[in-house]
């Protein structure tokens, strides 16, 4: 039977990206399985050949990083203490010389307790640290004796579990504990032969720590170096991005279909957050009706047209997906707006390929809108997605270079934001998918639902 809702769907369907249908009622009730992330135990996120290329290009002997995302990218380990508010607890060191192994400096107990069960890597040096065995002793500038690493006490009343045996074996295979992070860091750098080397660091505190412990090196900013390396994803990263992006889309589709029953923008956001968590993703934010404020709320009523922009991450890699929801029949201009945005996005994605400049992408979208005779203020902003929602080098640390100098590369995951930022057009709209840049074009990294949900 022909209904007004079907007419609206037909009107917008001709110009939206074709893709999978929205989730059914039964699918909405199903609790999905959390993804198996065991491949991260022995498949490195880091593209080491690409990393060495940029270290060579920028005259760096090594990267020495302590920001959690950078530590994770180099080592597959996200520092537990940094999740608890203790910044800079772990340091990863990656050398340009392929004969020098990756080194990780981290608290001894957390290496034993958290990292050893999640890793099967045997190609790295681990330098654990505790604290001085006697805090009151004056070592006269020399490293004091280190406290013994804390572990689980074996009572012997039952066999030790395989998990605890692995913890014990891994800690025994690591370097002897140092009396603090600084001492362990200096030991690691010297073991790698990086005395008087040129180091790229992501945290100025590291330079101070090295100076306090008598280690001489030339230090340069390294944050944008590692971001430049991350622009093109390794096979392990692409695998993880596919999981993160698809789970993000699945959660968003179910939330969008539940807009009427949710009843308010706040409840809709909560539905997306909960659906993401059920799939093993952790919610980051959701822009609803043009605002990311989690305090703002309003009822969802008949005739509304509003945007959703959904971001969640799986093992720290992000999905980013946006659509428009029509609650019944919207203002006629919103149908034209969503059609126009979809056409412009199709025009953009057909031209995406390695070598294209970031700065040229918005011009394609704006030209498409002009050709359609639509007066809409849409930014068509491109950004790389990965360990962050916006995961590319940025101007503040690029020594005079700007983001407009960036170009698309094979294996980059790209988003192009397409929300009109006009007011008084009958609502808010958005359209956003994640695209994997291929050798000669681009393809979605997740299923592509319709551009508009009519509920």
- Mean pLDDT, range 367-376, rounded to an integer: 96
Residues 415 and 345 in one domain: yes
> Residue 278: is its pLDDT beyond 80?
yes
Locate tokens 């490195």: which residue? 44
Q: Strand 317-326 to strand 452-454: parallel, antiparallel, or no bridges (unpaired)?
A: parallel
Taking CA atoms, 259 is separated from 19, 240, 270, in Å, by 21, 29, 11
Q: What is the phi/psi pair of residue 424, to 5°?
A: 75, 35
> Residue 308: is its pLDDT beyond 80?
yes
- Write the CATH number for 20: 3.90.230.10
H/E stretch holding 424 reads none
> Residue 2: is its pLDDT beyond 60?
no
Q: Residue 132: give the domain boundaries.
A: 48-230
- pLDDT above 90 covers a percentage of the chain that reads 83
Q: Determine which of 25-34, 189-198, 409-418 has the lowest per-residue pLDDT on average.
A: 25-34
With beta carbons less than 8 A apart as the criterion, state whether 43 and 237 touch.
no
Q: How confident is the model at residue 392 (pLDDT cuts 50, 70, 90)?
A: confident
Residues 198 and 237 in one domain: no
> 9 is written with which tokens?
């769907």
Answer yes or no: is 135 within a domain: yes
Residues 222 and 254 in one domain: no
Residues 179 and 306 in one domain: no
User: How far apart are the two ends of the chain, measured CA to CA in Å?
Assistant: 17
Q: How confident is the model at residue 18 (pLDDT cuts 50, 70, 90)?
A: very low
Q: Tell me: the pLDDT tens digits for 57-89?
A: 999 999 999 999 999 999 999 999 888 888 899
Residue 360 has a pLDDT of 95
Answer yes or no: pTM beyond 0.85.
yes
Which has more confidence, 33 or 449? 449
Q: Tell me: the pLDDT tens digits for 94-126?
A: 999 999 999 999 999 999 999 999 999 988 999
Residue 142 has a pLDDT of 87
Alpha helices in 350-455 (DSSP H): 360-372
Taking CA atoms, 155 is separated from 53, 152, 167, 182, in Å, by 51, 9, 16, 34
Residue 400 has a pLDDT of 41
- Mean pLDDT, range 49-61, rounded to an integer: 97
From the number of C-beta atoms within 10 Å of its C-beta (0-12, 13-18, 19+), residue 170 rates as middle
> Residue 31: is its pLDDT beyond 70?
no
Residues 263 and 333 in one domain: yes
Instruction: Name residues whose C-beta falls within 8 Å of residue 189's C-beta, 6 or more positions apart in sequence.
Output: 62, 64, 93, 195, 197, 199, 210, 215, 217
Answer yes or no: is 43 within a domain: no
> 255 is written with which tokens?
């939330």
Answer yes or no: is 341 within a domain: yes
Which has more confidence, 106 or 17? 106
Helices and strands: H and E segment counts in the chain: 16, 14
> Residue 369: is its pLDDT beyond 50?
yes
Residue 3 has a pLDDT of 55
Residues 218 and 245 in one domain: no
Residues 8 and 156 in one domain: no
Residues 68 and 11 in one domain: no
Residue 47 has a pLDDT of 95
Q: Tell me: the pLDDT tens digits for 343-355?
A: 999 999 999 999 9
Q: Strand 317-326 to strand 305-314: parallel, antiparallel, or no bridges (unpaired)?
A: antiparallel
Angle at 335 between CA 331 and CA 341, to 5 degrees: 135
Q: How confident is the model at residue 301 (pLDDT cuts 50, 70, 90)?
A: very high
> Residue 93: is its pLDDT beyond 60?
yes
Residue 201 has a pLDDT of 98
Residues 291 and 404 in one domain: yes
- Per the prediction, the chain carries an average pLDDT of 91
Residues 115 and 172 in one domain: yes
Residues 224 and 282 in one domain: no
Last residue of a domain, one of 230, 261, 289: 230
Answer yes or no: is 313 within a domain: yes
> Residue 8: is its pLDDT beyond 80?
no
Answer yes or no: is 204 within a domain: yes
Q: Tell me: the pLDDT tens digits for 439-453?
A: 999 999 999 999 999
- Write the CATH number for 208: 3.40.350.10
With beta carbons less than 8 A apart as the criterion, state whether 448 and 433 touch.
yes
Residues 33 and 57 in one domain: no
Helix, strand, coil percentages, rounded to 5, for the chain: 35, 20, 45
d(CA 16, CA 254) in angstroms, rounded, equals 19
Answer yes or no: is 425 within a domain: yes
With beta carbons less than 8 A apart as the criterion, state whether 110 and 80 touch.
yes
With beta carbons less than 8 A apart as the criterion, state whether 254 and 27 touch.
yes
Last residue of a domain, one of 192, 207, 230: 230
> Residue 129: is its pLDDT beyond 80?
yes
Q: What is the phi/psi pair of residue 314, to 5°?
A: -115, 120
Instruction: Name residues whose C-beta falls within 8 Å of residue 378's C-beta, 6 or more positions apart in sequence.
Output: 341, 344, 365, 366, 369, 418, 419, 420, 421
> Residue 15: is its pLDDT beyond 50?
no
With beta carbons less than 8 A apart as the criterion, state whether 221 and 197 touch.
no
- Mean pLDDT, range 187-214, rounded to an integer: 96
Closest to 234 (Cα-Cα) out of 51, 389, 399, 383: 51
Answer yes or no: is 386 within a domain: yes
Taking CA atoms, 126 is separated from 10, 174, 432, in Å, by 60, 5, 41
- pLDDT above 70 covers a percentage of the chain that reads 90
Number of domains in the chain: 2
Last residue of a domain, one of 197, 230, 263: 230
Question: Assign residue 46 a region: left if phi > 0, alpha if psi is -120 to 50, beta otherwise?
Answer: beta
- Mean pLDDT, range 384-394, rounded to an integer: 91
Q: What string of DSSP letters covers 362-388?
A: HHHHHHHHHHHT----B--EEEE-SSS
Residue 399 has a pLDDT of 44
Instruction: Name residues whose C-beta falls within 8 Å of residue 340's C-beta, 6 or more positions apart in sequence.
Output: 15, 368, 369, 372, 374, 376
């Amino acid at each position: 039977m022909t209904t007004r809702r079907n007419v609206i769907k037909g009107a917008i369907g001709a110009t939206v990206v074709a893709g999978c249908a929205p989730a059914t009622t039964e699918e909405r009730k199903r609790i999905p399985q959390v993804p198996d992330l065991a491949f991260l135990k022995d498949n490195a996120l880091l593209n080491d050949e690409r990393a060495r290329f940029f270290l060579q290009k920028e005259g760096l002997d090594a990267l020495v990083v302590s920001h959690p995302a950078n530590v994770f990218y180099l080592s597959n380990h996200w520092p537990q203490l940094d999740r608890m508010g203790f910044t800079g607890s772990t340091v990863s060191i990656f050398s340009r010389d392929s004969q020098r192994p990756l080194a990780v400096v981290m608290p001894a107990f957390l290496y034993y307790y958290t990292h050893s069960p999640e890793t099967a890597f045997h190609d790295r040096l681990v330098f654990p640290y505790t604290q001085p065995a006697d805090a009151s002793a004056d070592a006269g500038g020399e490293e004091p004796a280190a406290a013994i690493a804390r572990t689980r006490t074996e009572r012997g009343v039952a066999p030790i579990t395989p998990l605890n045996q692995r913890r014990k074996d891994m800690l025994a295979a690591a370097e002897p504990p140092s009396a603090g992070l600084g001492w362990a860091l200096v030991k690691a750098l010297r073991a790698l032969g990086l005395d008087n080397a040129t180091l790229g660091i992501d945290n100025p505190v590291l330079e101070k720590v090295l100076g306090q412990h008598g280690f001489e090196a030339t230090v340069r900013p390294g944050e944008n170096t590692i971001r430049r390396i991350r622009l093109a994803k390794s096979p392990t990263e692409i695998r993880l991005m596919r999981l993160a992006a698809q789970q993000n889309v699945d959660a968003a589709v179910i939330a969008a279909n539940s807009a009427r029953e949710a009843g308010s923008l706040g409840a809709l956001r909560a539905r997306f957050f909960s659906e993401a968590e059920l799939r093993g993703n952790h919610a980051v934010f959701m822009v609803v009706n043009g605002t990311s404020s989690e305090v703002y709320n309003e009822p969802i009523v008949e005739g509304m047209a509003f945007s959703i922009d959904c971001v969640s991450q799986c093992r720290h890699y992000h999905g980013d997906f946006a659509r428009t929801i029509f609650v019944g029949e919207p203002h006629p201009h919103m149908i034209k707006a969503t059609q126009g945005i979809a056409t412009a996005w199709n025009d953009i994605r057909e031209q995406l390929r390695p070598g294209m400049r970031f700065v040229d992408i918005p011009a394609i979208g704006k030209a498409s809108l002009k050709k359609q005779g639509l007066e809409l203020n849409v930014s068509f902003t491109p950004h790389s997605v990965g360990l962050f929602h916006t995961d590319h080098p940025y101007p503040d640390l690029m020594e005079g270079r700007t983001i407009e100098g960036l170009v698309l590369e094979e294996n980059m995951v790209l988003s192009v934001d397409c929300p009109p930022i006009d007011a008084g057009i009958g609502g808010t709209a958005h359209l956003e998918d994640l695209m994997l840049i291929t050798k000669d074009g681009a393809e979605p990294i997740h299923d592509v639902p319709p551009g508009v949900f009519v509920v």
